Chains A and B, each alone.
Chain A
Amino acid sequence: MISDSSHREPVVSAPVRSARSLTAAAAVAAMFVVVPLASVVWRAPLGDAWSILSGSASRDALVVSAQTSVIAAILSCVLGVPLAWWLARTTARGASVVRTLCIAPMVLPPVVGGIALLAAFGRRGVLGAPLEEWFGVTIPFTRAAVVMAQVFVAMPFLVLSVEAAFRQAGSDLEEAARTLGAGPVRVFWQVAVPSAGAGIAAGAVLAWARSLGEFGATITFAGSLQGRTQTLPMVVYESAALDYRQSLVLSLLLIVVSVTVLALLRDRWIGGFSR
């Protein structure tokens, strides 16, 4: 778990007499995950990686993915941090219902998220129809739709991580700030947010990584138009049958990014920020 820092302080305990069947099961589980990842590294045509990455589909998707995932991570913070604070501090009835609904996208099939976004913001959608009628704004199958799909799927990761950080920080400092004359907005920005800084940073990185990998909701709500809405995972999927080598190289890129993010969260940010 990312919040667990116990790996920093090795505890010497009596050697457990190994149950060999358990060790074997653990080995099988680890191999089940590691072997496919390693196979991508093994099979990827590293010599041609550069020419593949600079091909037009890859290059366009890299730009779209880089841009949309960063914007989605920022939007997730802007919207998700206040939600996390409210969830951490409220005593309102029904808060747990709100929490459950808001983090549902974590367990929902992403394609269902895409359908939900279409139902709300599609051209015939609950909000989409009036948007188009009154303002001439159409959202589906645009770059904005890519970002919305990513925020829908990624923000819950940030909300959970940041809510935990607010809870851990407690409300003592916020109370102290209030006795010094700080209103709710100042308390939030100048006391609550800084005291949950590590959790917010971790949540933002998680949300970014999840946005970068988003596929199901995005392809349903935004389609896969090269140079407009086609992201890296879509190119990986579509080239799996047409150009397997390209698929492998882009997959390797996404694996490297994901593993790097996990390593950073574990070793640097969580450990480095903890007080």
Chain B
Amino acid sequence: MSKKQKIIFWSVVPAIIVLLIVGIILTNGLYEREASIQETMQDAILHEGDRISLFGLPVNPGLISAYLVTGAILLFAAIVRIFVIPKFKRIPGKFQLVLEQAVGFFDGMARSNSPHRNNTLGAYIFAAGVYIFFGTLFELVGIPWQTANGTSVTLPAPLSDINGAIALGCLSYAFILVGGIRANKGRGLLGTLKEFSLPISMSFRLFGALLSGMLVTELVYYYLALSFVLPVVVGVLFTLLHALVQAYVLAMLTALIYGEVTEPHVKKQRVRTRKKKTKSPTEVKI
């Protein structure tokens, strides 16, 4: 960096920072909160005050997020299907490599965990993984939406809504159940029912992880003093990390248990052991 560039850098950057701080202080009055931190966090969990009207039906903001995420993912998939996949090359480029890695990762996970039946499983865990990952990252975008009360709410991650988490957990369990019945009939059914706590654990794990992330972010954003530097770590890195972890955990658990219940039953051969007849001492003739 030349001397001239250094001068420009050290004069422009502090000026921008000063301007931003002044702007934040001056505009602080626009963001006066009506609710206390307790009410904000309660709303984040229970969504009693921030319902959104979906064709006249009051729903949680998480559902709107879910439809937006699904729409975005499907739009992206359609564009890729129409414009990119027909031009796939034998030696992949960067974007093709990313797609192949993603599909190959979930396909490999399905094959390794469920060697006997994995065609639909791969697609299911791929969809679930993509949904959880991008759904979690969706909270970083922070799209504002008007509630039924007329107030504004920032759309959260779809799975921070307990209904979304329960839906995905129960659907995963149902998927495992159907797979088990198709593969092993009654034995598969019993094998899946044995894991009766799975839908609850899956649902609440997702809900807890996503909600805790959102609550921490809410807490941080609530106070002006915490709005510098910290959101980069909390908002981006934490969100990214638990998006990856939750996507991996649900996909892995589903694949693992699906593999268990669809495993063909092998009858164990009973080995008959001959009992040696030993003569009692009284029978032994001397």
Are A and B part of the same complex? no
- Chain B interface residues (CB < 8 Å from chain A): none
